[in-house]
Amino acid sequence: MTNGHAPAAPPRSTLVVTAHAGDFVWRAGGAIALAAARGEKVTIACLTFGERGESAKAWREGKKLDEIKAIRRDEAERAAATLGADVRFFDAGDYPLVESAELTDQLVTVYRDTQPDVVLTHPVEDPYNGDHPAAHRMALQARVLAQAIGYPGDGEIIGAPPVFYFEPHQPEMSGFKPEVLLDITDVWDTKREAMECLGAQQHLWEYYTDLAVRRGVQLKRNAGPNLGLAHKTMAEAYMRPYPQIAKELA
Amino acid sequence: MTNGHAPAAPPRSTLVVTAHAGDFVWRAGGAIALAAARGEKVTIACLTFGERGESAKAWREGKKLDEIKAIRRDEAERAAATLGADVRFFDAGDYPLVESAELTDQLVTVYRDTQPDVVLTHPVEDPYNGDHPAAHRMALQARVLAQAIGYPGDGEIIGAPPVFYFEPHQPEMSGFKPEVLLDITDVWDTKREAMECLGAQQHLWEYYTDLAVRRGVQLKRNAGPNLGLAHKTMAEAYMRPYPQIAKELA
Amino acid sequence: MTNGHAPAAPPRSTLVVTAHAGDFVWRAGGAIALAAARGEKVTIACLTFGERGESAKAWREGKKLDEIKAIRRDEAERAAATLGADVRFFDAGDYPLVESAELTDQLVTVYRDTQPDVVLTHPVEDPYNGDHPAAHRMALQARVLAQAIGYPGDGEIIGAPPVFYFEPHQPEMSGFKPEVLLDITDVWDTKREAMECLGAQQHLWEYYTDLAVRRGVQLKRNAGPNLGLAHKTMAEAYMRPYPQIAKELA
Amino acid sequence: MTNGHAPAAPPRSTLVVTAHAGDFVWRAGGAIALAAARGEKVTIACLTFGERGESAKAWREGKKLDEIKAIRRDEAERAAATLGADVRFFDAGDYPLVESAELTDQLVTVYRDTQPDVVLTHPVEDPYNGDHPAAHRMALQARVLAQAIGYPGDGEIIGAPPVFYFEPHQPEMSGFKPEVLLDITDVWDTKREAMECLGAQQHLWEYYTDLAVRRGVQLKRNAGPNLGLAHKTMAEAYMRPYPQIAKELA
Amino acid sequence: MTNGHAPAAPPRSTLVVTAHAGDFVWRAGGAIALAAARGEKVTIACLTFGERGESAKAWREGKKLDEIKAIRRDEAERAAATLGADVRFFDAGDYPLVESAELTDQLVTVYRDTQPDVVLTHPVEDPYNGDHPAAHRMALQARVLAQAIGYPGDGEIIGAPPVFYFEPHQPEMSGFKPEVLLDITDVWDTKREAMECLGAQQHLWEYYTDLAVRRGVQLKRNAGPNLGLAHKTMAEAYMRPYPQIAKELA
Amino acid sequence: MTNGHAPAAPPRSTLVVTAHAGDFVWRAGGAIALAAARGEKVTIACLTFGERGESAKAWREGKKLDEIKAIRRDEAERAAATLGADVRFFDAGDYPLVESAELTDQLVTVYRDTQPDVVLTHPVEDPYNGDHPAAHRMALQARVLAQAIGYPGDGEIIGAPPVFYFEPHQPEMSGFKPEVLLDITDVWDTKREAMECLGAQQHLWEYYTDLAVRRGVQLKRNAGPNLGLAHKTMAEAYMRPYPQIAKELA
């Protein structure tokens, strides 16, 4: 959908809600970098640092909880800066990330503050990590609450921004079916650089590079030979839980 | 997705494959009129006239098979002209529409001839009318065959154009979930005029007007209050069986 | 299934569990009016007034929370009286309606008090309003608990009354597939009158009238031409989560 | 749904479409016996004798094809007579039962001849026997064609009778979920007697008796303690592919 | 998959997590007895005694809560001993069994203590008893948490043991599809003996014997005639939520 | 499941039914090589050469149909020899591969001739290539027919061998969920060598190497840290349409 923005409109705003400090890089780094490259605003709401569930290497090295949080925060901040986004930490505690009315309310505030045109978050299921579905549920509930004039709090109510689910680590086991293939070829180098900020998970650098190649092959397979796509198209996959609003079928 | 077409590119092409003579009006008239209004080419492949299964009134009036076909053809041609599209009839016989390699091959020829950028057809299921799924299967198979250089026949092979399923008469019973809501407000009068070409099914004029209102309400409900949409937005709903190719999440 | 009740049996009892004050009118007003017209008892358990999430107009007019609750209560009471039902308010707070053991326990008491032969409530999913699924879960859990002699509390345990899910606002997006089409033609005027008690949501009067027409068309489409149905049959759609108990296939 | 038939109305008519000679006994014998006991007409359209795929014992005994067909026909005729139904054989050949326009057309004739108020047939899937889904598809297609005044052939067009799928041999593997539990206690002895007409499949007598007990337990479990059901309620399970038309929720 | 354990390896360990005192007998008694017969260790984590929801007979006899708990504990201990397993009670309160971080943490401790090679628990859904899904969710969450070195607590972290869901009382209504059929013929007498320890539920002895026969018939139907199976093979059915790890396809 | 084969038993037999000449290499080369390495017999039934739909490069080079078939046959024979399997060609014509009773009957003969203990074939769906589902349907139907003593033809009837679906090119779009992860590390070099026999599809060598790495990562993720798996475990993914028969849960 193309929106003809009036000249003085504020830049488009993207809100990314994630469970752990690394998620936005592996799963949505390309979308974030593309938006930033267009001059848009991107805000990452990072509910936990992934300090317990996704920092095995640091624990095995004998690091303490606070040290681990600091390392993860630092990595995430550098990755966000590389991509061109702001990151806000909620330090809600992971493994398990517990849903609560308070944390959801904090997210409502973020929604009203950032007035997102697009929302990215985890999909419904993940049988390997319960924090992801918990973040998903709070992100979606807060989006609905933030639309209601009767829900208390500062800031203007929001519209109904489209939501995209980014890809989980084991897509087939999590009910993930690619519904949108986003061409991230132009910002691939930036995404790779952001991934390399995450030193604790170096084994994933190649893994997510391969994934981008494969999603790129599928993009080309669904686009036909005649679109002038790059030889090595890189892509990210997303799902859409709400209907797309369109002016044109394409 | 917006494609920056080079100046000399041919106009975009839309191919609509339907079982019966009226389907393209009720289900996709808005999309067709929008494309035509943008100066694009739209071709309707109409596999049967709906002479047996969707002409009860004419049969009750005692009309003969050939008369009924002629009436339905005339109505469809006027409706297509109103919308700005070409219609091709295959007269394959309805109720039941029988799948065959010959008819599928004819569709391959249409694909290669029209080189569609977009394909519209029936969805997978319809427990009330088996001709619709039969048309669906041939439309999709022909689209795959037309891509293969090894499949014989005239014309250039095609790319992999996106496919959209239009809405069946009883959506919930046919596994239809709106994935795209297309704003047809600007061409609503044209669609209504085309519907009124179908004199044999006058009882459906109001029914499909109400449907467009309701899909319009849902479009607004999924777009938020701040998009400057028309007070009475009219819409059509579609499904996407293949992933959307995107340059931007929106 | 028709049960030949012995003469002295108490009238049949219907229990309707809803999230907000207006739900029982739009979604089940016909079923309620039909039961009342047969001389049966209908009790509506209304968990919240919909004061935050479904009263946008009042908030925009600058009304206060207590005023809004009072308006919604008054509207709901007049609508219930019109339909011939009793309504009980729980004032549990909406947007979000929070599930709790206490509220579920109150519902157990209502079940044991009303001894329902039929239960109506929201379906499992609603991606546009989380209060509806929350009401659904408590309604179903309380129904199971109320059957257990070991669950404490006043009143007799209940049997296993059939459950019907009424139709959500966006059925296709909520996994709603009509499994029962209820002919409400005879009580349509009463339902319309009850809808008109809800002055705050006047834009929905026509919307739900159109829905009743459309469900009526589908009822006739699934019944054949020879049942002597009214020209303009009006209907409501329901789902059945538990198997129907039958003495006859029909 | 109870229909108040006018005095002179013809008796209700049930049509059962099955792949093999034994299916109507194991899967729907109770429903058939109940209808017959109410004085209604029941017609069984038996597409094949099950001569190749369901007569292993006879083949191992060295019997010939024609002998086997004669045995199966005789058994089925006696079972049908026991239940109170007419059976018509089509001898279309099993293993595989091949779908064809001719056989479907013969079924259209049966529909128009019997004017069914209720149709019973196999469900959509059966990974253990492809003849069952083939019979299902032809039964459903013929039902739709028989409704069309434009479809040629003798007899009056039919309405849209409700369809029930009876239970396959391995329900969980065939996507079968009980949606209707039919109380067959009153005709159980008749069903058992009909089963005992099928001497070639004696090992199934106990199997299907146990199934009736289990479905009866589930019937009681879904009906509550207070319905005055028989101590040993026997039941059959069915699915409904089309919505139930109701005058009352029960 | 067969693992060639080194000689000094500890015996394999199975952990069974259930909501109520009787579940492990009816649903997994065969698997437990098989493991015990192979000299393996089996631990049953029994979250409640089923004192409110599954002890109707005792309540009707006027017994008190503590008496009922004592009866159920005694029965379960005798059944576990018969099968060759240890049982640990958590007395968390049933009907409803409430999910909590504390109870989940206790399960993490059990996982780390028992180091299971296999986990058995309830499947995702049960529309007749909410305690079963609650136990399911805690069992699965604790399994994930117990794998994380960052999750606090005593004991070694665990691997990712395969999980099997045992069969609920109404499989088709609970989304249960048999994915593994376990041959329990050799330990059938032991399972029957354990069932007979549960005097309060005598009506289920025959019911679950019949189920084992039926699952045995299906086992043979999926195995072909040439495996030398017992004439009366007895079986239990399971689902696998995670992929099987195999060295060989068989 | 481990079967204790008696000494004189014939070697186990695996039957692979595929649409095109390359499928068995990319999708099941590891399973084939493993079976062959255990001294078992593997037979590949290759329904077409993939001459039209999967030989784009050769067509673009101007080769003729017969040349292309010869090339594909030669490649497939060398790949099969590398893996240790026999390959039989049916030359049934691809794009589209048309289902027929004759071809299905030829497959029945292969089943009875090879007496497979295991069957590998395509899964149910593939929206990118209709030949794959067509091969799937014939492979499954022939397996059922080959079990029936009444189905004519030479050879002994077969049992009910387990079926495994190998992985399609776009798993998420084809409803493919890994249910079995097969460790092919030990035969990886052989599979790679067989892939390199397929010179016409060189671009897939790296693609399917990456896939094996990724499935290997998932295998380890589902197996826990303590199984002594290879650092770089390679794997193939499969689905199981029929229940697994087991002597032990593992």
Q: What ipTM was estimated for this complex?
A: 0.93
Q: What is the pLDDT of residue F223?
A: 86
Q: Which residues of D touch E173 (CB under 8 A)?
A: 177-178, 218
Q: What is the pLDDT of residue B7?
A: 53
Q: Which chains reach chain A with 3 or more Cβ–Cβ distances below 8 angstroms? A: B, C, E, F
Please state whether beta strands B163-166 and B235-239 pair in parallel, antiparallel, or not at all (unpaired).
Answer: antiparallel
Q: Among all chains, which residue has been given the structure tokens 């950032």?
A: A114
Furthest CA-CA distance within chain D: 56
Please, what is the average pLDDT of chain E?
Answer: 93
pLDDT for E228 beyond 70:
no
Q: What is the pLDDT of residue D171?
A: 96
Which two structure tokens, joined as six digits, stand for A43? 């805000």
Measured in angstroms, the CA of A112 and the nearest CA of chain C are apart by 16
Q: Which residues of A touch E148 (CB under 8 A)?
A: 52-53, 56, 95
CB of C214 less than 8 A from some CB of D: no
Q: What is the pLDDT of residue C5?
A: 45
Q: Residue window 22-41, chain B: list those with CB within 8 Å of chain A.
A: 31, 34-35, 38
Nearest to B203, CA basis, from C220, C222, C226, C235: C220
- Interacting residues of B104 by C-beta distance below 8 A, sequence separation 6+: B138, B141, B142, B145, F96
Contact D149 B68 (CB under 8 A): no
Q: What is the pLDDT of residue E8?
A: 62
Over residues E23-29, the mean pLDDT reads: 98
Confidence of residue F227 (pLDDT cuts 50, 70, 90): low
Q: Among all chains, which residue has been given the structure tokens 């980014």?
A: A166
Contact F59 B150 (CB under 8 A): yes
Where helices occur in chain A by DSSP H, the ranges are 23-37, 56-60, 65-83, 101-114, 131-145, 188-195, 203-221
Nearest to F48, CA basis, from F78, F17, F81: F17
**Cα dihedral across residues D187, D188, D189, D193: positive or negative:** positive
Report how many helices (DSSP H) and strands (DSSP E) chain D contains, helices first.
Answer: 7, 8
pLDDT for F8 beyond 80:
no
DSSP string, A88-135: EE-----SSPPP-HHHHHHHHHHHHHH--SEEEE--S--TT-THHHHH
Full strand arrangement of the beta sheet holding F13-18 = E244-246, F180-183, F235-239, F163-166, F118-121, F13-18, F41-46, F86-89
CA angle (B202, B163, C218) in 5-degree steps: 35
- Bridge partners of residue E87, in order along the sequence: E44
pLDDT for B178 beyond 50:
yes
Q: What is the pLDDT of residue A225?
A: 54
Question: Across E90-142, where does the E strand assignment appear?
Answer: 118-121
Q: What is the pLDDT of residues E118-163, one digit of tens each?
A: 999 999 999 999 999 999 999 999 999 999 999 999 999 999 999 9
Q: What is the pLDDT of residues C99-114, one digit of tens each?
A: 999 999 999 999 999 9
B58 close to B64: Cβ distance less than 8 angstroms: no
Q: Which residues of E touch D210 (CB under 8 A)?
A: 210, 213-214
Q: Which of F54, F57, F59 to mutate to test the interface with B (most CBs of B within 10 A)?
A: F59
Question: Which residue ranges of chain A lie beneath pLDDT 70?
Answer: 1-8, 224-230
Mark whether C and B touch (3+ CB pairs within 8 Å).
yes
Nearest to A95 among E145, E242, E243 (CB): E145
Nearest to F243 among E164, E222, E249 (CB): E222
Q: What is the pLDDT of residues F111-165, one digit of tens each?
A: 999 999 999 999 999 999 999 999 999 999 999 999 999 999 999 999 999 999 9
| % of chain B with per-residue pLDDT over 90 | 89
- Bridge partners of residue D244, in order along the sequence: C180
Question: Which residue ranges of chain C lie beneath pLDDT 70?
Answer: 1-8, 224-230
Centroid of chain to Cα A211 = 16
Among B63-77, D3-17, D168-182, F106-120, the least confident range:
D3-17
Confidence of residue E223 (pLDDT cuts 50, 70, 90): confident
Let me know if B205 is exposed, middle or buried by CB neighbors in 10 A (0-12, 13-18, 19+).
Answer: middle
Q: What is the pLDDT of residue F203?
A: 82
- Interacting residues of B135 by C-beta distance below 8 A, sequence separation 6+: B17, B18, B19, B47, B97, B121, B122
